[in-house]
Structure 1
Amino acid sequence: MKQVLIFLLISFCSKAVAQTDSGQTKNNNPIFKGWYADPEGIIFDKTFWVYPTFSAPYEKQVFLDAFSSKDLTHWTKHERILDTSAIKWAKKAIWAPSIIKNKNKYFLFFGANDIQSDNELGGIGVAVASKPEGPYKDHLGKPLVDKFYNGAQPIDQFVFKDKDGQHYLIYGGWRHCNIAKLKPDFKGFIPFEDKTVFKEITPENYVEGPFMFIKNNKYYFMWSEGGWTGPDYCVAYAIADSPMGPFKRIGKILEQDHKIANGAGHHSVIKMPDSDTYFIVYHRRPLSETDGNSRETCIEEMHFDENGFIKPVVITKEGVKSHLIK
């Protein structure tokens, strides 16, 4: 009888721990179902948001979904916050959304049409809405950037707000990255003092997917390297004293783990507003998948050493624990 009671007690405790773990850290990656890539994570009004690319053949990439969460572990899907019915000039390949709140409006920057030359219609567009979940409408009625400046394909846009309130557009594929000063209404650009509009800030090994944030008055510039369908896809970074750089590559901090998943890259970073806790949101390809478009969105905690350098990120199936914004 005593042995039976001990067995029942152990079983009960094991189940209780399993239930607790499943609500906190067990198998939280990917963070939501479906094939999604190039995620941008951000916080609006004590809510976590992720805006990804719908990962499919280019001709089927004609809309964007968004996802929201109060705790980083339970996510709500907001379908078709933007699609080609609102952006008349966009026909396919709607990629890598970047969003920012400005004067009580939400501005969603995106790439469309995967243009290969200056003679094609497409590039980087801007949409606007009164709520994070949209619906979004075309802000310009045409692309904001529709040409190849400094060799940069107009894709993979990121909107960065500096300490002085100035907004910058940082973007570029084809191994070139540009930065430009946005006008306050996001309808054009302010030339730099030398009258140029697009300045190249490409670091060593840059391919695509730029992201920037400030920590301790230093500018952390991050990007993706390698091929997005290959095993060499990864994230690297640099640190500078200005958003203009110069950015000297420090090294890789996110890459695939052949025991977990392939092709980890094209990321964004979320900082908790009430602590020095950082998260990296990224996409990767499950080991069972060979289709390049089979990408899923995941999240891990990102740490720094005593000198401010980013520690290599360990990719996991567990993801992160529940976090609430106070």
Structure 2
Amino acid sequence: MKIISTGRLRIANNLFTYAIIIASIFSGCAKKDPESVSKATLKSNEATQKLLSVDLMSGNPILPVATADPDIIYANGKYYIYPTATGPNASQFHAYSSTDLLNWTDEGIVLDLVNVSWAHTDGWAPSVVARNGNYYFYYTAAKKIGVAVSSSPTGPFVDKGSALATGDGTDPIDPMVFVDTDGQAYMYWGNTTINIQQLNNDMISLTGTRGHNKPSNYFEAPYIIKRNSIYYLMYSINDFSSDDYHVEYATSSNPMGPWTTKGRITSPLGAIKGPGHNAVLRKPGCSDEYFFVYHRRTSTNIHERQVAIDRMFFDGAGNIMPINITVSGVTQSLGSAPCLIPNPIPNGQYAIRSKVNTVSGVGLYLDIAGCAVGNADVRTWTRTTCNGQKWNLTYLNNGFYKIISELPNHKSLDLDACAIERGANVQVWDVFPNDCQQWRIESVGGGWYRIMAKAGNNVLDIVNGDPAPGADVRSWTWNGADPQLWKFENP
């Protein structure tokens, strides 16, 4: 089923879904059983989630069915997401593909447990790795770990004929396979007890001593990446049914540990509960551009989970920054698109000009209404000598900038209430270190930039593209139009 992102119906559909979420925001393993979601519920979800992307952003959730435990890879010019199985007794694994992170196509059943000799039920939490000219599909079935192989990322995957591993501990589930830079592959799996073991070059058999080093609060869903010679082990905390099911991480200089606990990555946000069981993809060809895929829920039905995607960033010390949970998701990203430069504008003072001009062709600038020195609204205005049009940019060494007014009280550009919905007001406010006042600046070519809020991932936008001086500035989903394009000029 192709998920199409065109037309007003799509936008209306999303706004309705977001309105429900926003209204709520403000006013062990039998767990992994999508079959407990009724057919009526699934049909209802499909009707409301079919048209997900808004403007040039993915929207969240991104898949049209209630499912969980996603893995993500990039291959052959496409992104692929592999979630927990659906169908009878959670037996049918699907793959979903996209060229741009906006439109997702159901590639159909890539592995059906009816064709697996040693297990036919409880297909959970796959992990897919490309190697040796093949794709290896690791998965849980009947609380054992299996592996199936295909020459294509969309299968069909053929099981090796027996379980790859059972593992130590009472719940040997949630496999994740990591290939180190020296070519050695490792498998991580297990609930409560973590199992870590090397794979042979054939990728379908294990070798060496099994390790069990884990952070003290490890629960399940291990996922590992390597960055600057440091191994980052991410894992989920609490039972999946908990509203505070979430992801934490630890680091090590060795892929088998021991691990130093670092802290929390995800947290529930209003009606969005249980953001956990994640995977991470570094954009191909980019050194430090990461996508974080995970599941969450807005329903009181704990089995009705949704797959979502947001950006992941590191601070200057190499720590993973907490993920900003969004309803807008991520911007369109073709795998071949140029890598984003994290700090494209040097620190300094600027006038910030809109690509929208007045009807007579006069430039419009980001302006503090009436040159107010206190907390005030932000709007557009023609060029003046007022310091309300002078903005001091400081890069925070974490992918984001602080943008401070030159007016006497030096207020910060601020997203009202850190709101994640589009349409939130942009203002200047007392300076705080929170996400409401951190902004990402990304080049879109021709000397123009989008300015994105850390909270919500939406961009600075002139309401209705109004060319009249005094038009309000708000946050909105990225669409690439002139009201969202800005240039940094000498003040």
Residue identity in the other structure for 2:205? G
Q: Counterpart of 2:249?
A: 237
Q: Counterpart of 2:5?
A: none
Alignment partners' CA distance in 2, 1:113 and 1:298: 26
The superposition leaves residues 161-193 of structure 1 with CA deviations (integer Å, 9 ceiling, x where unpaired) of 0111011111111x11111011111232222xx
Residues 1:320 and 2:295 are matched in the alignment: no
Q: Counterpart of 1:273?
A: 284
Alignment partners' CA distance in 1, 2:162 and 2:256: 27
Residues 1:208 and 2:220 are matched in the alignment: yes
Residues 1:167 and 2:185 are matched in the alignment: yes
Alignment partners' CA distance in 1, 2:145 and 2:335: 32
Task: Measure how far apart 1:322 and its partner are.
Answer: 0.3
Residue identity in the other structure for 1:190? T
Q: Counterpart of 1:257?
A: 269
Task: Measure how far apart 1:273 and its partner are.
Answer: 1.8
Moved over 2 A (4+): none
Alignment partners' CA distance in 2, 1:256 and 1:301: 16
Task: Measure how far apart 1:249 and its partner are.
Answer: 1.0
Percent identity for Structure 1 against Structure 2: 36
Which secondary structure does the structure 1 equivalent of 2:54 belong to? helix
Task: Measure how far apart 1:138 and its partner are.
Answer: 1.0
CA spacing shift, 1:38–1:269, aligned 2, 3 Å? same
Task: Measure how far apart 1:283 and its partner are.
Answer: 0.1
What is the number of residues matched between the two proteins? 284
1:143 to 163, 180, 187: 163
Q: Counterpart of 1:177?
A: 194
Task: Measure how far apart 1:55 and its partner are.
Answer: 5.7
Paired residues of 2:54 and 2:328 also in contact (CA < 8 A): no
Paired residues of 1:204 and 1:248 also in contact (CA < 8 A): no
The superposition leaves residues 120-163 of structure 1 with CA deviations (integer Å, 9 ceiling, x where unpaired) of xxx00010111000011112x110112x42x2622100001011
Residue identity in the other structure for 1:137? V
Paired residues of 2:314 and 2:320 also in contact (CA < 8 A): yes
Q: Counterpart of 2:204?
A: 187
Alignment partners' CA distance in 2, 1:71 and 1:187: 31
Q: Counterpart of 1:70?
A: 99
CA spacing shift, 1:321–1:41, aligned 2, 3 Å? same
Q: Counterpart of 1:23?
A: 55
Alignment partners' CA distance in 1, 2:150 and 2:102: 26
Alignment partners' CA distance in 2, 1:310 and 1:55: 32
The superposition leaves residues 186-209 of structure 1 with CA deviations (integer Å, 9 ceiling, x where unpaired) of 232222xxxxx3110221211100
Which of 1 and 2 has higher RCO (CA within 8 Å, sep 6+)?
Answer: 1
1:83 to 112, 115, 122: 112
Residue identity in the other structure for 1:285? R
Residue identity in the other structure for 2:155? G
Alignment partners' CA distance in 1, 2:233 and 2:324: 20
Paired residues of 1:55 and 1:295 also in contact (CA < 8 A): no
Alignment partners' CA distance in 1, 2:331 and 2:203: 36
Q: Counterpart of 2:141?
A: 112
TM-score by length of 2: 0.56
Unaligned runs of 5+ in 1: 1-17, 115-122, 192-196
The superposition leaves residues 12-58 of structure 1 with CA deviations (integer Å, 9 ceiling, x where unpaired) of xxxxxx9xx93212x611112101100001111221111000368xx
Which secondary structure does the structure 2 equivalent of 1:38 belong to? coil
Q: Counterpart of 1:92?
A: 121
CA spacing shift, 1:252–1:171, aligned 2, 3 Å? same
Q: Counterpart of 1:12?
A: none
Q: Counterpart of 2:237?
A: 225
Alignment partners' CA distance in 2, 1:153 and 1:201: 16
Alignment partners' CA distance in 2, 1:106 and 1:42: 11
Paired residues of 1:40 and 1:267 also in contact (CA < 8 A): yes
Paired residues of 1:86 and 1:136 also in contact (CA < 8 A): no
Paired residues of 1:207 and 1:225 also in contact (CA < 8 A): yes
Alignment partners' CA distance in 1, 2:269 and 2:85: 23
Task: Measure how far apart 1:244 and its partner are.
Answer: 1.4
Residue identity in the other structure for 2:261? R
CA spacing shift, 1:247–1:152, aligned 2, 3 Å? farther
Alignment partners' CA distance in 1, 2:216 and 2:86: 27
Task: Measure how far apart 1:63 and its partner are.
Answer: 1.0
Alignment partners' CA distance in 2, 1:46 and 1:220: 27
Which secondary structure does the structure 1 equivalent of 2:329 belong to? coil
TM-score by length of 1: 0.84
